[in-house]
Amino acid sequence: MPQLSCHSPFGALTISEDEGQIVALDWGWGRDQEETPLLLKARDLLERYFDGESVDFETLPYRPYGTPYRQKVWDALRRIPYGQTRTYADIAAEVGGSARSVGGAVGANPIPILIPCHRVVGRSGLGGYSGLGGVA
């Protein structure tokens, strides 16, 4: 599986591709680096995003691996506009299930940033976010 790493304000990130689609974005520096056209485009968009530019990640093809329910939750996350947030309960009302089940799907998001799990907050504000450095 081709991988390419980049620098971010949070440390190194590694983008993984499978069959022409982004399938993962992981914390840390990947072992095997390969510059495919898709990974170069993804890295460029991420670097521009971290530099404060407005970018459209929807131009990237992605296929996160997960259950049909998780896929529904991740699709809902992709529809949250830049600069806005939703609660776990909001997403649950949209896709079905409970806020807790949505939280499980959000926590299992294999492509953070591109699938904006950081735009989902608890009823009383941010809580349970697990990025670099652990759970907030």
pLDDT in tens, 1-37: 999 999 999 899 999 999 999 999 999 998 888 999 9
The residues spanned by each domain of the chain are: 3-59, 68-135
| pLDDT given at position 128 | 56
Kindly tell me the sign of the dihedral angle through the C-alpha atoms of 89, 92, 93, 98. negative
| pLDDT given at position 123 | 84
Q: What's the chain's average pLDDT?
A: 90
Contact by Cβ (8 Å): 20, 61: yes
* Residue showing tokens 């799990």: 117
pTM, whole model, 2 decimals? Answer: 0.84
Contact by Cβ (8 Å): 123, 93: no
Given 92, 115, 117, 120, which residue is catalytic? 117
| pLDDT given at position 6 | 93
For residue 92, how far is the Cα from the chain centroid? Answer: 18
CA–CA gap between residue 136 and residue 123 (Å, rounded) = 15
Residue 6: active-site member: no
* Residue range 68-135, CATH number: 1.10.10.10
| pLDDT mean over 43-56 | 93
| pLDDT mean over 103-107 | 95
